[in-house]
Amino acid sequence: MKRNFIFELLVVKKITIEFRVELKNLFIEPTVKTPQVDFNHLTGELILSGRSIPENAVELYQGIHKWVIQYVAAPRKTTNLRLNLEYFNTASSIWLAKIVKSLTSIKDTESTLLIHLYFNIEEFDSMDAEDLKDALSPIIDMVGTPEVSLGIKIYGTDDKGEILKESMVLI
């Protein structure tokens, strides 16, 4: 007895749907203990200014860090991280290090990351080469070998925040 078998071929087409959520600018008003955060993904200007001594650094910086990770996926050709912090505590410095580390992982070799550091003019004027090296070594050590072109610019400012002097360090 002969049997006929009919095989049905079921073809399932794999469809990948990618949802891209447009990154929105991040703005957080300053408080007595937390900095103003003004991150603009369209211009690549990422600004932290004021004091950073939050009661709960994780609560403040975790969302900021997530924003930075999303930004790194589609950065501008030039990213300016402006750290104009008059004072920050140890917990804040850990989160700032994470933010800088994430920004230095930008994969586009034609991109540039400029880190801008602001000092009181008296502190700026009294810095010698060794002081400058000490001030920048935590950033340089943390960064290691960046994938993006990196420069650090330091500024001397007056009590009103006006820039009086500046110097550039290329890494």
pLDDT tens for each residue of 26-54: 999 999 999 999 999 999 999 999 999 99
Rounded average pLDDT over 2-12: 54
Q: Is residue 6 situated within a structural domain?
A: no
Rounded average pLDDT over 125-150: 70
Give the pLDDT score at 159.
87
Q: Is the pTM of this model over 0.75?
A: yes
The number of angstroms, rounded, from the C-alpha of 154 to the middle of its chain's C-alpha atoms is: 17
Q: Is residue 8 situated within a structural domain?
A: no
Give the pLDDT score at 122.
87
Tally of domains within the chain: 1
Q: Is residue 116 situated within a structural domain?
A: yes
Confidence of residue 139 (pLDDT cuts 50, 70, 90): low
CATH number of the domain enclosing 67: 3.30.750
